[in-house]
Amino acid sequence: MEEFNQLMKVRFEKLNRLRELGINPYPYEYPQTHKSREIKENFEKLEKQIVSVAGRMMTVRLMGKAAFCDIQDEQGRIQIYVRKNEIGEQDFEIFKMLDIGDLVGFKGEVFKTRTGEISVFAREFKLLAKSLRPLPIVKEKEEDGKRIVYDQFADKEMRYRQRYVDLIVNPEVKEVFVKRTQIIRAIRAFLDERGFLEVETPILQPIYGGATARPFVTHHNALDRKLYLRIANELYLKRLIVGGFERVYEFAKDFRNEGMDRFHNPEFTLLELYVAYKDYKWMMDFVEQLFAHVAQTVLGTTKIRFSGHEIDLSPPWQRLTMYEAIEKFTGVNISDMDEKQLREVAEKLKVEVTPEMGSGKIIDEIFGEHVEPKLIQPTFIYDYPIEMSPLAKKHREKSGLVERFEPIIAGKEVANAFSELNDPIDQKERFLEQLKLRERGDEEAQMMDEDYIRALEYGMPPTAGLGIGIDRLVMLITDQPSIRDVILFPQMRPENK
């Protein structure tokens, strides 16, 4: 820490010296004409042309009356050649005061060095922002034409906490977030081409619903009422289906007051969409097509690699009912069991359950422990117990079940879909059952939403609904092990000072 403070002290001294020389270390603009990759890809056209480039100085090599440095912009790096005779003695002395991390603009001629590296021969330069904190030292070398990085800025917690530094010194991280944007863009195009309308629904809600989760609570001073950050946008989107829109979707920031691990962040992105006059069978086919489209658009293939597995997203996907899947991986048929019997099965399978859990939660725990991690290739798990799905339509043929599915890929669910419950009487009864679970201590059970019941009483057409965890989908497509690797600024525990 003492060495770090000394390095900062030296940089502050340089900052003051530059100001004494009449140099503004934080000017207002710079006329950048070209980016690094643009110059490299169009060298034949740009050779001997004057360009202006700008970026962060990442390396510098002083050699008497000349120097080489690399600057990094959003596209990559490019080498700059600086010669004292060209820029003048005073400016060369100023150049030598620059540090790694400083943002600098260079104007000069595009050329290729004797070693064949495309570079810019500086005619002039301008300091654009003085860096007062030294960057973590990242060493690299080239072997057989490949960039080898060592002594990397690799402390995960520090990288998440100081994402701005992570992006500077680990530029490959940017590619994950470029792909994230491409994934969302591909989904939007897919939906827009099929007649969906993108809408917005409230983030602050008087009654939270649409999922089983604990909310974040806030207070509105002017109305003097408690409000909740939404845990899902489902109930508002289905109000729009009642109102006459037939295909709607929303990319929503949702908030759930839950633990944090590599698959959960309290703030996350959820895509929900609803289609009138369709059911969950139609939606299964739709999901297969959507996932395959996204992979093909972003990666150029439907075959992806995640956590050491090669996974093929092309249709058709395997389909198993929840009871079939549990029997397949545990050897136990639970389809006709009551809560007492399910508790006995959970005990035999060494699945931890608590007294407040009903049958649905117990089945969910058994599935999560013994089935889900083993489903690597895309698999639809469908036909869930009614207790697990208070917003899904009762199964048209099988008593005690609902028409619901989840696609499981690489051992984790990435979406959730229903034939949506549109019977207001049945829906009210389901909400009442959820309230009983709350009375037993289940804090994640859903609330009664009288206005939503009122909307259903006006009539909602048969509807298929889908929710996709965008962060998990990005993890999958970019082969990232943690949700924190695909969220630019994930939630962190307080920093120890």
pLDDT in tens, 81-108: 999 999 999 999 999 999 999 999 999 9
Q: How far apart are CA 335 and CA 342, in angstroms?
A: 10
CB atoms within 10 A of CB 107: 19
CA–chain centroid gap for 403, Å, is: 29
Q: How far apart are CA 300 and CA 293, in angstroms?
A: 9
Q: pTM value?
A: 0.90
pLDDT in tens, 10-61: 999 999 999 999 999 999 999 999 999 999 999 999 999 999 999 999 999 9
Q: How far apart are CA 268 and CA 246, in angstroms?
A: 26
Contacts of 113 (CB under 8 A, 6+ apart): 79, 81, 119
Beta bridge partners of 380: 319, 407
Are 53 and 73 within 8 A, CB to CB? yes
Q: Is 406 annotated as a binding residue?
A: yes
159: burial class by Cβ within 10 Å (0-12, 13-18, 19+)? Answer: buried
Token pair 């099988």 is at which residue?
A: 398
- In this structure, which topology does domain 174-317+377-485 adopt according to CATH? BirA Bifunctional Protein; domain 2 (3.30.930)
* Domains 2-135 and 174-317+377-485 are alike in CATH topology: no
CA–chain centroid gap for 104, Å, is: 32
Query: What values do phi and psi take at 355, rounded to 5?
Result: -60, -30
Question: At residue 150, does pLDDT exceed 60?
Answer: no
pLDDT in tens, 163-175: 999 999 998 999 9
pLDDT in tens, 438-456: 888 887 888 899 999 999 9
Length of the chain: 497
Q: How far apart are CA 6 and CA 3, in angstroms?
A: 5
Residue 151's identity, in one-letter code, is: D
Q: What does the domain layout of the chain look like in residue ranges?
A: 2-135, 174-317+377-485
61-65, 381-385, 493-497: lowest mean pLDDT where?
Answer: 493-497
Pairwise pLDDT comparison (260 vs 456), residue with the higher score: 456
CATH architecture, domain 2-135: Beta Barrel (2.40)
Pairwise pLDDT comparison (67 vs 446), residue with the higher score: 67
What would the mean pLDDT of 306-314 be, rounded to a whole number?
Answer: 97
Pairwise pLDDT comparison (301 vs 212), residue with the higher score: 301
Q: How far apart are CA 325 and CA 369, in angstroms?
A: 12
Question: At residue 186, does pLDDT exceed 90?
Answer: yes
Closest CA to 49 of 153, 123, 159: 123
Question: At residue 260, does pLDDT exceed 80?
Answer: yes
pLDDT in tens, 343-395: 999 999 999 999 888 898 899 999 999 999 999 999 999 999 988 888 899 99
Token pair 């009762």 is at which residue?
A: 394
HEC-encoded secondary structure of the chain: CHHHHHHHHHHHHHHHHHHHCCCCCCCCCCCCCCCHHHHHHCHHHHCCCEEEEEEEEEEEEEECCEEEEEEEECCEEEEEEEEHHHHCHHHHHHHCCCCCCCEEEEEEEEEECCCCCEEEEEEEEEEEECCCCCCCCCEEEEECCEEEEECCCCCHHHHHHCHHHHHHHCCHHHHHHHHHHHHHHHHHHHHHHCCCEECCCCCEECCCCCCCCCCCEEEECCCCEEEEECCCCHHHHHHHHHCCCCEEEEEEEEECCCCCECCECCEEEEEEEEEECCCHHHHHHHHHHHHHHHHHHHHCCCEEEECCEEEECCCCCEEEEHHHHHHHHHCCCCCCCCHHHHHHHHHHCCCCCCCCCCHHHHHHHHHHHHCHHHCCCCEEEEEEEHHHCCCECECCCCCCEEEEEEEEECCEECEEEEEECCCHHHHHHHHHHHHHHHHCCCCCCCCCCHHHHHHHHCCCCCEEEEEEEHHHHHHHHHCCCCHHHCCCCCCCCCCCC
Q: How far apart are CA 70 and CA 104, in angstroms?
A: 11
Binning pLDDT at 50, 70 and 90, where does residue 153 land? confident
**Structural tokens at position 277:** 């006059």
Q: How far apart are CA 411 and CA 406, in angstroms?
A: 12
Query: What values do phi and psi take at 476, rounded to 5?
Result: -65, -50
Q: Is the peptide bond before 490 cis (omega within 30 degrees of 0)?
A: no
What would the mean pLDDT of 246-261 be, rounded to a whole number?
Answer: 95
In this prediction, residue 56 carries a pLDDT of 98
Binning pLDDT at 50, 70 and 90, where does residue 436 land? confident
